[in-house]
Amino acid sequence: MFHNDNGFTLVEILIAALILFATLAVSTLIFHTAARTEDRIAAQAALSTALPNIMELIKDEITAGQEEGQGQYSSTVSYHWRVTSRESSKNVTSAYEETTGKTAYGNFQLQLNTIRVRLRYQRYALSREISHEYKELSWQREASTGPR
């Protein structure tokens, strides 16, 4: 019996190369998909983490009398908000002052504001945007003196 000890045949090399390239193509596709998924998860996490803090910033701006605004929360997250509706109460004679922690006396109106905020995540080629609507309670000391 004759044995060929000169190496692999051309057909064996072609089959091995085909298997190698197919494996590389599938591995690259899996890696690319995993990287994109990781970026999307990071974007969603950044937006979800930023939202409560941005709501606090908006609360301060509403207290200062603004009805719309925008800002840059971080290098990747920006936001735009506006009051979409406002319901006012009848006059009340006292209200809790958050900044001092005491009761303030006078003529006040409580206001229930409906706020729509749009957050945008932008990093390299990835851009993600979410909208959120919520209600915020604020109060105003006599209509002529401005919000408190």
Bigger pLDDT: 105 vs 144: 105
Q: Fill in the DSSP letter of residue 62.
A: H
Residue 78 lies in a domain: yes
pLDDT band at 144 (very low <50, low <70, confident <90, very high): very low
Domain extent at residue 21: 10-145
Residue 77 lies in a domain: yes
Q: CA distances (Å), 84 to each of 67, 112, 119, 137, in order?
A: 9, 11, 16, 14
Query: Starting from the edge strand earliest in sequence, which strands make up the sheet with 102-123, in order?
Result: 68-72, 77-97, 102-123, 126-141
Residue 3 lies in a domain: no
The answer for residues whose C-beta is within 8 angstroms of residue 50's C-beta and 6 or more apart is: 73, 74, 77, 79, 119
pLDDT digits (tens, 9 = 90+) for 39-83: 999 999 999 999 999 999 999 999 888 999 999 999 999 999 999
Residue 22 lies in a domain: yes
Q: Is the dihedral of CA 58, 60, 65, 70 positive or negative?
A: negative
Our count of domains for the chain comes to 1
Question: Which tokens sit at 63?
Answer: 């207290």
Please name the amino acid found at residue 71.
G
Residue 1 lies in a domain: no
**Cα–Cα distance for residue pair 77/86, rounded to 1 Å:** 27
Residue 30 lies in a domain: yes
Bigger pLDDT: 110 vs 18: 18
Residue 2 lies in a domain: no
Residue 17 has pLDDT above 50, yes or no: yes
Residue 82: half-sphere exposure toward Cβ, Cα within 13 Å: 1
Please name the amino acid found at residue 22.
A
The predicted pLDDT at position 1 comes to: 54
Residue 7 has pLDDT above 90, yes or no: no
Residue 87 lies in a domain: yes
pLDDT digits (tens, 9 = 90+) for 73-132: 999 999 999 999 888 877 777 767 777 888 877 777 888 999 999 999 999 888 999 999
